[in-house]
Amino acid sequence: MIVSSSIKVRVIQGRNLLACDSNGKSDPYCVLWIHNGSGEKKKTHKKRKTLSPHWDEQFVFPVNNPTTEMLNIEVFNHDDIGKDDAMGGCRIPLLGLTTNIEKALWFPLSTQGEIEVGITAIGFDSSGLHPQQAAEMAYMEGKTMDPTQIPIAAPPQRCILG
């Protein structure tokens, strides 16, 4: 039995972002992806003329191995003419997330400013492992857990850590 895990990512807001336009502001948007072979990138809507954007947009990504994969977020300034400007980025580890409980934190960007992101694990166990990995490890350690019997998760709860 193959159990799929995923994360729900909520890009909440940014603050103190880099000013890229001549008016002292930026038109920021975020690009998100996980390096897991899917190549799937998603992006938020752009917010005009701000250094403190509020997005509150949600995305879901499949996760193959939360112990090694990371959520990548790059922030760009939209330009009507020419190439969009990179404003910085961050990499967020997935290990240690708790299933169905959102972990919302501020993450510093590589240049200036930070973004607030909420991440909810879907189908992880309490150790942050994919359920199938946890079941197989328990089975190999001689515990009685049958690796084909994976519990169904409870409804999501919200928890803000900071």
> What are the pLDDT digits (tens) for 46-75?
999 999 999 999 999 998 888 888 999 999
What's the pTM?
Answer: 0.76
Please tell me which residue, 144 or 139, carries the higher pLDDT value: 139
Q: Tell me the pLDDT band of 40, cut-offs 50, 70 and 90.
A: confident
Confidence of residue 140 (pLDDT cuts 50, 70, 90): low
Q: How many CB atoms lie within 10 A of CB 14?
A: 28
pLDDT average, residue stretch 20-34? 95
Non-local (6+) Cβ contacts of 126 within 8 A are 98, 99
Asked if 93 and 70 touch (Cβ cutoff 8 Å), the reply is yes
pLDDT at 131: 53
Categorize the per-residue pLDDT at 120 as very low, low, confident or very high, splitting at 50, 70 and 90.
very high
